[in-house]
Structures are given as structure tokens and as C-alpha cells.
Amino acid sequence: MENKYRKWFGDLRCKLAEKSFTEKGWSVYCAENKEEARKLLFETIIPKNVSVGLGGSETLFAMDVLSTLRSADYKLYDRYNGGDHFEICRDSLMADFFLTSANALTMNGEMVNLDCSGSRVAAMAYGPRKVVVVAGVNKLCDSLDEAIARVQSIAPMNCKRNNHVTPCTEDGVCADCNIHARMCNHLLITLNAQKFAGRFTLVLINEDLGF
């Protein structure tokens, strides 16, 4: 059963974050749930007949975006459909749209992401003409320090999801490991989106999604 007070509080948080991100050059949409967010993606934000790259995301899986992107209406650089993963990620850097989620967002309009290979944060920083970030209200943090701490705290779940054999998949605690299987290699903090007007779009969803 949905908790109406959490929903009310999440709505307030989303609206406050929307103001901050808008002031920093983002195009921002707020959605009540993942179904509404999915509709926004394919009816308002991402047109048909464009190329699309993807960042690894449990949020996107929960929204079932692949079933639409794999249709003939889009040219998808499909990181989940076999092939040379490295080359697919390289091709994604030249996509019209790059669709992903975020590890953390701040109420001040900042975004924090931690990557393994760097393919996702590279595309966020530069390459694709448009970057679309979809994130649940659970990703919102009150400060940049809190956002970085959040990113580190969820890292064990990402390691487990990707079958990386790291110490944190045994006890759930980051050991700042120095091994080949380490996932936490590239930290990107996006402070502002004013440089290329209209490049960044954020869809904030008033639900807990992803990690």
C-alpha cells in the first residue's frame, strides 16, 4: 500500500530539485511513477528514428525501456545484446541520445556517478548530442558530500549485479580494493549544465527505483 506521506514528501523534494537543476541549465520533468516517466521518454523527450546509447541501469530495467528501443523505430547501441561490449560503448559516444540513470543527485542541482570502465560517465560528460537521466526520488541527497557517500555505499550492490568478485560482494562493505575486478574507478561530478544549452534532460520519478 502506498504511503501518502512519503508520496507527499517525495513530490516536494522533486519540485525543489527541479528548480535547482533548471537553474543550472537542465531540462527537467517530474513524473509520479515509472509508467508516467516511460511515457514522457517516448512521447516527449526521445523522438523516433534517432540513435540511442545506454548506460547500465536498474532503473531503466524497471521501466522496461529496452522493449521499445529495440524496435525498428530506433537505432539502439545495445550493450545487453551480445557483441563487442567495448565497441558498442565506443559507438554510443556518437549517439544522438544517451539514456541512463544517476547514482546520486543533489538538491543543489549536482549529479554524481561512479563507473567501472568509464563508458557511462564519458558519454555523460561529452559525446552524445543529448543526455537523458532518469532517476527515482531515492537518488536525491541534501549535499554533495552526502551524494558521494551514497555512491560509495551502493557500490557493493553494483559489484554484485555485475558479478565482480570484490571484497565488498562478500560483506557489503567497501574496502577501497586495489584489484583487477574493482568497479569503482571513475568518479564524475556534474556541477552545471549551462555549457551546451539543452543537452541535459532529467526525469525525476516520485518512486524509489534502482539502488
User: How far is C-alpha 180 from the geometric centre of its chain's CA atoms?
Assistant: 25
Structure confidence by residue, pLDDT tens digits, 172-197 = 988 889 988 898 999 999 999 999 98
Mean pLDDT in residue range 117-135: 96
For the chain, domain boundaries: 4-205
Q: How far apart are CA 167 and CA 112, in angstroms?
A: 23
Strand-strand pairing, 27-31 and 200-205: parallel
Judge whether 166 and 177 are in contact, CB under 8 Å. yes
Taking 90 as the threshold, does the pLDDT of residue 12 lie above it? yes
User: What are the phi and psi torsion angles at 28 (to 5°)?
Assistant: -125, 135
Taking 80 as the threshold, does the pLDDT of residue 1 lie above it? no
Distances (CA, A) of 24 to 15, 45, 108, 129, 148: 15, 19, 9, 18, 19
| pLDDT on residue 8 | 96
User: How far is C-alpha 125 from the geometric centre of its chain's CA atoms?
Assistant: 13
- Would you tell me which CATH number, out of the four given (3.40.50.10420, 2.60.120.260, 3.40.50.970, 3.40.50.300), belongs to the domain 4-205? 3.40.50.10420
| pLDDT on residue 176 | 86
User: How much is the mean pLDDT over the chain?
Assistant: 94
